[in-house]
Amino acid sequence: MPEGAVACPTCSGSDHSSSSSKKCKSYKPKTANAARAALKRTADGEPDTDIQISTSSVALSLKSVCHHDRFISSIDTVVNDVTLIGKYLSEIVNVIFVHLRDSDFIDVTHSYLSSIVHLITHRGRGNATLDPLPSPSNHAEAIRNTVITHFRNRLPHEHFPSCQGLTNPLEYMLKEYQTNLQNHVIIYLHKRLASYFKFLARLTFPEITKSDEAKLWGYALCQFDCNVQEYAGEGLHADYKQYADEFVLDHIVLINPLSVVDPYTRMRSYAKKYTHYLPLHRYLLSQLEALPVDVCRPPKQYTLAPLYGFQQRFVIFHQRGLDGLASRFKWPRIPIKDMFGVDALETAN
């Protein structure tokens, strides 16, 4: 085979590089092409039975799947409203997290996030007023009310979207946001803690080497996580080990809030309890924000919670959601299979 040539991993052919090439003995059309082909219909409007059905999720334009052009602009309105609500939610959550006490984070539940959405949307065209803030039953709800009051006072009334007919897509948006929040905390926390620990080690011991930084973090980690391969710190200066011991002792309540024996090597097993790690998440950020601007090689800062933008987001809804949109926009009730090419695009699942 000529130098630099790429062989197909499926059939080992040298005249093509993947099974999506028609030259491949095991030719397999690209998923996107199969999905687009699935949209083709026969002259009488029925799905073409000779096409290959896609079993993967593929992003396609709304115009290519919606069979009723007059509804496309209304669906665009829904997408914009859900995007705006998601943006508002993410901004408010970040501010709330700044002001909560450490013990309040366990009250950040799906219902808590849902209440924020409820308080920044109005009920519909005939009732375009925001609901009054409910009496708080705990400190987290009191902080929520305070932040939302400031938010309402600073945003023109016409900028608050209506949630009429959006119950279904908003449920999906909230579920997605809570999952992103969980991942935002759990997936990167170990790396952020290690980065902060090594940064303090460099400030304390300017002469420390990269190798010793890594060894010192391993030594510190095995002090509070039994699944870390034991490292006794051979070859490390006694001052280094003393620094690590004091760091763990000073931060153990934040580092291991669940009081388990493996808080970091099995952190994803505790993902559902991510709110217990939010105090550490906030503590690390507060320490980074307090650093002088001229500090050399500080760790990167981050947001306390995922921050959404104004770019249009995917909106998910099923038949119940479509019925809600029909009520909002005064559509006739249309089965979802007639509205979209579900018969051609739906997976076997």
Q: What is the pLDDT of residues 77-136, one digit of tens each?
A: 888 888 999 999 999 999 999 999 999 999 999 999 999 999 998 866 555 678 889 999
- Tokens 């890594």 belong to 214
pTM for this predicted structure:
0.75
Note whether 194 and 341 are same-domain residues. Answer: no
**Residue 278 φ/ψ region, left for φ over 0, alpha for ψ in the -120 to 50 degree band, beta for the rest:** alpha
Number of domains in the chain: 2
Note whether 265 and 160 are same-domain residues. Answer: yes
Is the pLDDT score of 150 beyond 90? yes
Kindly state whether residue 326 falls inside one of the protein's structural domains: no
The boundaries of the domain holding residue 35 are 1-67+334-349
Q: Is the dihedral of CA 91, 300, 107, 274 positive or negative?
A: positive
Residue 128, H or E segment: strand 127-130
Note whether 244 and 149 are same-domain residues. Answer: yes
Q: Which residue has the higher pLDDT, 222 or 125?
A: 222
Kindly state whether residue 39 falls inside one of the protein's structural domains: yes
Q: Please give the DSSP secondary-structure letter assigned to residue 147.
A: H
Note whether 246 and 347 are same-domain residues. Answer: no
Q: What is the pLDDT of residues 204-213, one digit of tens each?
A: 999 999 999 9
Note whether 122 and 201 are same-domain residues. Answer: yes
Note whether 14 and 128 are same-domain residues. Answer: no
